[in-house]
Amino acid sequence: MTNNNQLLQDLASKWILLNQEVMSLHDRGLYDRAAKTAQKALDQAEKFDDPEHPYLAASLNNLAGIYDAQGRYSEAEPLYRRALEIRERLKGAGHSDVAASLNNLAELYRAQGRYEEAEPLYRRSLRILENTMGAEHPDVATCMNNLAGLCDAQGRYGEAEKLFRRAFEIREKSLGKGHPDVAVTLNNIAALYESQGWYPEARPLYRRALSILEKALGPDHPDVATCLNNLAGFYRAQGKHEKAERLYRRSLDIRKNSLGPEHPHVAASLNNIAELNSAQGRFSQAEAHFLRSLEILEKTLGPGHPDVATGLNNLSGLYVSQGKYDKAVKLCRRALAIRKKALGPWHSHVAVSLNNLAGIYESMGKLIQAESVYARSLSIFEKTLGPAHPDVAVCLDNLADLYKRMGRQEEAGEAEKRAARIRAVKE
């Protein structure tokens, strides 16, 4: 009996060390190494020979989380589901650990654009947390924050704002006004306002979030870099390029120093600086930054990750602005192929790639091809986001411009009217 207890203790000690290494590697963006170590931790957990051991559920969840970060969604989903099943059997359907698994699976579905599947999981997770933790618990706020992000992605801005604000109230009350999680929610509300063009309302929230994070975590923390990056994007959207560049570069320096020069967040900063350079007409600098960003993303996340598609899409846009349409088309098609494979053919990001490809065809004078691709983009936007989403209005405007070039004035007018009706509802 003593030997058996010692064996279990040794297994547990090894698992804990492996799990700690997994967390460290994940935080540093070393996903390939993290996945290998997480698999070792899973193998170790299976040595307990207990199909409902909590370490087994945790290992499955952690490996799924790494696959999720790598864009390996089809591999992540069965692991998340198995972890959820173990936790439900082990602790009951109303346990907070079950709520955590539901939230993780919902986040995976949200990343894939499977919004209708994600929402009931978020709401079930929220009900469990409210029943087990109480309505004012920080975990309830986290789940509300995630559900709000889903509503935001669907263009349900009123619902999103209510959920974000409720999450903010809970966090401020339970954690204090100076807690980093309070800053995260402020940042989310600011981003929601920015996406609707409410710049005067967004600016003080961004700045307050930054002030909280700098005070709570120090000026060189990665979370401060993220907030700086968001504030920089806010200034870029308003054409305040000098302010934006200073903040982007400070964010980049923090990320390089704290996370290392080849972390995906560093790639994101380089991409943002490249987009700013492009807007300023500094095309050679923009291209160098885009290429370096892509190099990092392909190395850390793999060539089939959706973030790589985003980088390719942005570089394609740079070539369009220079009239290098052949280069742009190749990159746009590659981005489209990645998104279709990783996210499925009906994801809104696939529609974005199609919209961009149609725009290139239009610039090349290939109007018939452009019309077909715009129409495909529009159908995806309508199916995934609903017929009254702002992105539908954008696509309709693009179609209207194309119809005018083709001399089809009546169809152009109808598309413009429908886009105007969508915007009138949102205002």
Contacts of 167 (CB under 8 A, 6+ apart): 141, 142, 144, 145, 148, 185
- What's the rounded mean pLDDT across residues 291-304? 93
Query: Cα–Cα distance between 341 and 130 in angstroms, integer?
Result: 37
Contacts of 7 (CB under 8 A, 6+ apart): none
Query: Cα–Cα distance between 118 and 205 in angstroms, integer?
Result: 28
Which of 23-27, 29-33, 265-269 is modeled with the greatest confidence? 265-269
57-72 pLDDT tens trace: 999 999 999 999 888 8
Residues in the chain: 427
User: For the CA atoms of the chain, what is the radius of gyration?
Assistant: 23
Examine the pLDDT at 327 and tell me if it is beyond 90. Answer: yes
Long-range CB contacts (< 8 A, 24+ apart) of 329-338? 329/357, 329/360, 329/361, 329/364, 332/356, 332/357, 332/360, 333/357, 334/309, 335/309, 335/310, 336/309, 338/303, 338/304, 338/305, 338/306, 338/308, 338/309, 338/312
CA 270: distance to chain centroid?
Answer: 17
- What's the rounded mean pLDDT across residues 288-295? 97
What is residue 221's predicted lDDT score, i.e. its pLDDT?
A: 92
> What average pLDDT does the chain have?
93
What is residue 2's predicted lDDT score, i.e. its pLDDT?
A: 57
Q: pLDDT-based confidence at 217, cuts 50/70/90? A: very high
Q: pLDDT-based confidence at 139, cuts 50/70/90? A: very high
The Cα diameter of the chain in Å comes to: 87
- What's the rounded mean pLDDT across residues 173-181? 96
Whole-number Cα distances in Å, 321 to 148, 330, 376: 35, 15, 24
- What's the rounded mean pLDDT across residues 231-242? 94
pTM as predicted: 0.84
Examine the pLDDT at 8 and tell me if it is beyond 80. Answer: no
392-426 pLDDT tens trace: 999 999 999 999 999 999 999 999 999 999 988 75
- What's the rounded mean pLDDT across residues 280-296? 96
Share of the chain above pLDDT 70, in %: 99
